[in-house]
Amino acid sequence: MEQSAQPIGVFDSGVGGLTVVRAVMERLPNEAVLYFGDTARVPYGVKSAATIRRYAREIVEFLVGEGVKLLIVACNSMAAVAGEEIRRAAGEVPVLDVLETGAQAAVATPGVRTVAVIGTSATVESGAYVHRIAQLAPEVRVVARACPLFVPLVEEGWVDHPVTEWVAREYLTPLVAEGIDVLVLGCTHYPLLKSVLTQVVGEGVTLVDSAVAVAEAAARLLAAEGLERQISTAPTHRFVVTDQPPRFHALAERFLARSLPKVEWVKMGD
């Protein structure tokens, strides 16, 4: 198969990366997507960097073996601690990640002075966002906070549950007190919580969701590399997971706002 006809590989630890898939499908409707969610091993964000690196390498080897033409790391935790491993395992396949596009979108927000980054413990403890934003815009103040309970709440489908709002208030009230003007959703699960997060931080704070920005970067890259799919028939998407929790299919359809083909299952690791 022509390289341009191959799918875009998008991967995450679970369902969170589907927020990126949705943006990619909207921006690049003629492209095929191969989504990989490591549902058997989610959450990643509470695991050590060494473990996240090993998992990331295994996923990239799988997707490269499936012939993807571009890889999108739709997981900030992997982007934060495993960027080098991912690019090494990707070989010739170009790689985009949500952390870089998230940092760029944050500093590009008009009038930005103080940015808060929320993410998993792995992402926040790595300091990757704070470091990258400081490189891009040294005058911007950055505060960060890990919100480890958000991922299980999203995986449970409790995206607008009162418990989620209560947890969000616990996490975010101290950030609001810092006078933030931008809140970076530094975990691909968090865009699902947008309405609760807006209620808590207020309409005056701009929420940065890197899914749209990474989809835009993918469109630019494919055009620049001559890798846009030329076929006019509708693309076939694939969804691969390492475990099929009962709610995956329904949750995924809700995230993508479309019906999903059969989800494939693969075994990974030991």
Applying the rule CB under 6 A, the residues between 209 and 248 that interact with ligand DGL are none
Q: How far is the CB of 233 from ligand DGL (least distance, A)?
A: 32
Non-local CB neighbours of 162 within 8 Å, separated by 6+ positions: none
Q: How far is the CB of 252 from ligand DGL (least distance, A)?
A: 14
Non-local CB neighbours of 213 within 8 Å, separated by 6+ positions: 101, 102, 104, 105
Non-local CB neighbours of 139 within 8 Å, separated by 6+ positions: none
Taking CB under 6 A as the criterion, the residue among 6, 13, 126, 206 binding ligand DGL is 13
Indicate the Cα dihedral angle 244, 248, 249, 254, nearest 10°.
-170
The DSSP line for 47-80 is S-HHHHHHHHHHHHHHHHHTT-SEEEE--HHHHH
**Residue 12 interacts with ligand DGL (CB under 6 A): yes or no:** yes
Considering beta carbons, is residue 43 or 229 the nearer one to ligand DGL? 43
> Of all residues in this chain, which one has the CB nearest to ligand DGL in the complex?
45
Q: How far is the CB of 247 from ligand DGL (least distance, A)?
A: 16
Sketch the per residue contact string, 164 through 203, with ligand DGL: x for CB under 6 A, - otherwise: -----------------------xxx--------------
Q: How far is the CB of 152 from ligand DGL (least distance, A)?
A: 9
Q: How far is the CB of 121 from ligand DGL (least distance, A)?
A: 8
Looking at the annotation, which residues are catalytic? Answer: 75, 187
Applying the rule CB under 6 A, the residues between 37 and 96 that interact with ligand DGL are 42-45, 75-77
Which of 268, 270, 267, 265 lies closest to 248 in space, CA to CA?
265
Considering beta carbons, is residue 25 or 128 the nearer one to ligand DGL? 128
Considering beta carbons, is residue 74 or 227 the nearer one to ligand DGL? 74
Which of 43, 44, 32 lies closest to 81 in space, CA to CA?
44
Structure-token pair, residue 70:
């571009």
192, 153 contact by CB (below 8 A): no
Applying the rule CB under 6 A, the residues between 88 and 147 that interact with ligand DGL are 119-120, 123
What is the C-alpha separation between 115 and 113, in angstroms, rounded? 7
Structure-token pair, residue 219:
């469109």
Considering beta carbons, is residue 9 or 119 the nearer one to ligand DGL? 119
**Residues engaged in binding ligand DGL (CB under 6 A):** 12-14, 16, 42-45, 75-77, 119-120, 123, 151, 187-189
